[in-house]
Amino acid sequence: MSSYTIDSTAELVEHVSLSQIRVYETGSRAKSYDDLEASAVNFNLGYAERTEGRELEDRFRFVVETPSTDYLFELGAIYTLDLDAEIPQDVRIDFAERVGFMALFPYLREYLTSSAARLNRPGPLLDFVRPGDMKITESSPEADDADPASSV
The CATH number for 47's domain is: 3.10.420.10
Q: Is the pTM of this model over 0.75?
A: yes
Q: pLDDT confidence of 22, banded at 50, 70, 90?
A: very high
Q: Is residue 78 part of a domain?
A: yes
Number of domains in the chain: 1
Would you say residue 110 lies in a domain?
yes
Q: What is the pLDDT of residue 139?
A: 46
Q: Tell me the mean pLDDT in the region 48-57.
A: 95
pLDDT score of 121 more than 50: yes
Cβ-based neighbours of 8, under 8 Å, separated by 6 or more: 91
- Cβ(74)–Cβ(146) under 8 Å? no
Residue 33, CA atoms < 13 Å, CB-side half-sphere:
2
- Three-state SS for 126-147 is CCCCCCCCCCCCCCCCECCCCC
Residue 55: pLDDT above 70? yes
Whether the Cβ atoms of residue 50 and residue 60 lie closer than 8 Å to each other: no
**Domain hosting residue 54, numbered range:** 9-32+43-118
Domain assignment present for 141: no
Whether 131 maps to a domain, the answer reads no
